[in-house]
Amino acid sequence: MEVIKTDIDGVVIIEPRVFKDARGYFFESYNKKEFDEKVRPVNFVQDNESMSTKGVMRGLHFQLPPFTQSKLVRCVKGAVLDVAVDIRKGSPTYGRHVAVELTEDNHRQFFVPRGFAHGFAVLSDIAIFQYKCDNFYAPQADGGISIADPSLEIDWLIDPAYAILSDKDSCHPLLADFESPFDFNIDLYR
């Protein structure tokens, strides 16, 4: 696998080595040893999958401490624009984001560390999206930032005003109205 660094330290794009022939393709989607060596040691404990239709936007989500989560995400059917926003107080990249298009054709994966809000917009008719998480989901620890926050300057490739959102996702605060519980100077992996 090739690890592509982004403008925000710790947030990486992963391109697997894909073997194609007349039968189709094969690739190793996850190898703990290689991931730990090339990205960082992570113990993934839960896998999730969602299916969404065109225009759906999910996010920007995170889990509050002590239930923080890193995510390794990929789109196995269709296409999404996937986004990670740095919400760590004191971070030199606080409020900045990385966006990457994940598709069934490019097989890319995106690693979103703890201390980041995460979301995506569905660009295809249908998208099936998979998440590997390094902590179990805790409903009482749900948090979010508005996907429509203009201060984030995210080009979602679809207009958030016409996005299909859950009731929960339509009520998240703007970043300016959010008191982050994440501290850049504290190792969230302890």
Position 131 pLDDT exceeds 70: yes
CATH number for the domain including 57? 2.60.120.10
> 179: buried, middle or exposed (CB in 10 Å: 19+, 13-18, 0-12)?
exposed
Residue 189 lies in a domain: no
Mean pLDDT (whole number) for 112-138: 97
- Would you name the residues annotated as active-site residues? 61, 131
Neighbours of 174 (CB within 10 A): 13
DSSP 8-class letter at 60:
E
- Supply the range of the domain harboring residue 25: 2-183
- Is the pLDDT reported for residue 107 higher than 70? yes
pLDDT (average), residues 26-32: 93
**116 part of a folded domain:** yes
Q: Is residue 190 situated within a structural domain?
A: no
Over residues 12-35, mean pLDDT: 94
Say which DSSP state 48 is in. E
Q: What is the pTM of this model?
A: 0.94
Domain count, the chain: 1
Which pLDDT value is given to residue 188? 78
